[in-house]
Structure formats: structure tokens, C-alpha cells
Amino acid sequence: MSFFAVVMAGGKGTRFWPYSVSAKPKQYLQLVGGHSLLEQTLLRLEPLIPSENRFIVTVREQGQLARENSQNLINNLGLIFEPEGRNTGPCILLALAHLLVHGKGVNHDSVVAILPSDHVILGTEAFRRTLNTAFLAAQKHKTIVTIGIRPNFPHTGYGYINAKQSMNEGLFKVNAFKEKPNLETATQYLKEGGYYWNAGMFVGPIGTFLDEFKTYAPAMYQYMQELMDVLKKSDENAVAAVYKKMPKESIDYAVMEKSQKILVQEAAFDWNDLGSWDALESVCQQNEGNVLEKVRGAYTSQAKGNIVFAPSKFVALINVNDLAIVESDKVLMVLPKKDAQQVKQVVEFLEKSSNYRDLL
């Protein structure tokens, strides 16, 4: 049986401002390596999922970027446009409806992977093995398999999955999904064991996804058939009208936290969601104790622990430590790397001012 993939690529990536902006969000940037994050995501799926079985869901404003970053890497009808942002629950239902209407050979038994577009995965072959195991388990057990990342420190920016009962081949039964914890709770999770970071990767038969939406999110699922009917007519306005009726809920809240048909497949690869600039430290090579990404060259003296992203610039670091320094064509940003999450405060400030629209 053929496997399918839907890559979620409509995000704004504001935590990587000023390099990630509305005209070119994070998933379309070459932050690590010579391909954009979206291209890396699609290339990782080869040869497990052929290009004709790959789809991207994004927003129309990003349509050209999505096309440029997926040439020959997705189905000819593989671009799915979300009419408006309504969180991941409706977005995934829209994608499943599109597959059933436009996907060749797609039916309720077809197994699909729902994947983010903007994560960094180190160990491509290990990722493919993990994903293949998840596909086979989802197919065999008629269940949804989420790929869990074994935590190596008490991160407070991720949701957690509690899954202690082992089945086989790295599969575990889910006890509960946990919201993002405080530091004390996250530390306790690591001490207890049996907890995984929720990486937002889900694999399952289309029919199982739909059954769980029908059971646990009926207010959303009730529009599924209507959505498929208007997709068959290729009427964008009608699709938008139906989509607008669906509640704004994440798939975690709508389905995953309630379903009894969820297994966890432990990841056999290194993973990073690149949630903020300081994340580059764990995925990029260091130069004399600093991360100097995309720079033309550098001089460092008594400088350690800095993260610099300044494409084509020569960088000099003297007697400075633990800073994040990011330069774009219009912005220079300097902050302690431990405060990288506060970038969103700058974005919020700019959004309130009419003087800086060109910086977003």
C-alpha cells in the first residue's frame, strides 16, 4: 500500500524575526544547510513517499514561495490552500478532504503522515526508519501514531506525551497529553521517565483520523462531507464559506488529548523545532565556541557562546559572550541568547505601529 504525506507550511515563523518575515517566513529560509526547511522536509521523505503522494497545506499568500520550494517534490495538485487560519484541526481536515478528492488511489485505508515544515532533523536515514515503522504500526493497528522525542533536558516550550506501557519496536501506549509545563514539572517528567516531547508529527489511516474527529470533534467534523463536495467543484469561495464554519481548534485539543487510539513511536533521530534563535546552537557547527552561520568570515577574541546569523557579512566579536546577533537587510538585533523568546515582543511592538510595516 502506498503512503502519503501532508506537510503543514502556512506558519508565520515570527520567532525567527527579523530574518523570517511575512514575505518569506521561516519554512522557506535556508537557516541550516543549502536547502530551505520546507525543501529539507520534502527531501527527507524520499524514497519512502514518492513525490506524487506528497502534499503541502499553506495559505495563498505563500503560494509562490511554496511552489518555488517544492518543484518536482510534490503532487501536481499537491498545493492545498487554507482559506484562513483556523488552527491545525480544521487545517488537517481540509488536507484529508483534498487527498480524498484529488489524491490518486486515496481512500479511507490510505495511511498519511501529517508533518511540520520547519523543523531540523539530524539523521535522515534514522528519520526514514522511524517514519516507516510508524506507517506500518498505524496500518496494522488502525491507529494514529505520533512520533515522540525523548527529552534530554526539562524544556518548558513543548507539550509532553506520557506513554510508559511498551508494546514493541519502540511503540508505547499513550496515557495522556500534557500542556507545556513549568520548569519544576518538566524536571519531574524527566525524573519519572516515560515522557516524550510532542513533535507534532502524526501518522494514521485517513479513516481513523476521520473517525476520531467524528467522535471527539463533531462540531468540526460535521462539515467534512460539505467540504469534499465543494472541493470537487474547485470553487474557492465555497470552500472558504464552509471552512469558516469550522471551530478554531488544534488537533491536539480537538482529538489527540481525548482519543483512545493513539500510540507513540519513539524517535530514533535528533530533532529540533527551531523555536527561537538560540536553537541554532544545537544544530549548527561551532567556530571557536561560537555559532557563526552564513557569515562571510569572522574575527573573535575573548568571545564565547555567541550565536551570529549575518548572511554575507564579516563579523568581529571582541570580549562578548552569550549573545544572539541577527542581521537582515533592514534590521540589526542584539540580545542575550537566553532571552531569545522575547523576539515576539519586538514583533508585537512593530505590529502596533504603522511606521514599521516594511519590517514585518
Q: Is the dihedral of CA 358, 349, 91, 226 positive or negative?
A: negative
- The grid cell for 94 is 481540509
CB atoms within 10 A of CB 56: 29
What are the helix (H) ranges across 119-252? 124-141, 183-192, 206-216, 218-221, 224-232, 236-243, 251
Q: Are 342 and 275 in contact (CB under 8 A)?
A: no
Residue whose grid cell is 467543484: 233
CA neighbor of 176 nearest in space, from 151, 148, 203: 148
Residue whose grid cell is 523576539: 343
Q: At 299, is the secondary structure helix, strand, or coil?
A: strand
Helix (H) or strand (E) holding 264: strand 262-266
Distance CA 344, CA 324 (A): 14
CB atoms within 10 A of CB 61: 12
Q: Are 56 and 78 in contact (CB under 8 A)?
A: yes
End-to-end CA distance of the chain: 44
Sequence spans of domains, the chain = 3-272, 277-359
Give residue 1's pLDDT.
Answer: 67
Q: Tell me, rounded to whole angstroms, the distance of Cα 79 from its chain centroid.
A: 17
- The grid cell for 192 is 519519572
Q: How far is CA 122 from CA 32, 126, 147, 269, 271, in A?
A: 11, 9, 15, 6, 6
Q: How far is CA 67 from CA 38, 43, 199, 329, 356, in A?
A: 11, 15, 25, 24, 28
Helix (H) or strand (E) holding 344: helix 343-351
Residue whose grid cell is 522557506: 28
pTM: 0.92
Provide the residue type at 360 as one letter: L
- The grid cell for 304 is 564565547
Distance CA 283, CA 297 (A): 19
- The grid cell for 229 is 463536495
Q: Are 210 and 224 in contact (CB under 8 A)?
A: yes
Question: Rg of the chain over CA atoms, in angstroms?
Answer: 21
Going residue by residue through the chain (360 aa), what tens digit of pLDDT does each one get? 689 999 999 888 888 999 999 889 999 999 888 899 999 999 999 999 999 999 999 999 999 999 999 999 999 889 999 999 999 999 999 999 999 999 889 999 999 999 999 999 989 999 999 999 999 999 999 999 999 999 988 888 889 999 987 877 778 999 989 888 999 999 999 999 999 999 999 999 999 999 999 999 999 999 999 999 999 998 899 999 999 999 999 999 999 999 999 999 999 999 988 888 998 998 888 888 999 998 999 999 999 999 999 988 999 999 999 999 999 989 999 999 999 989 999 999 999 988 898 899
State the fold for domain 3-272. Spore Coat Polysaccharide Biosynthesis Protein SpsA; Chain A (3.90.550)
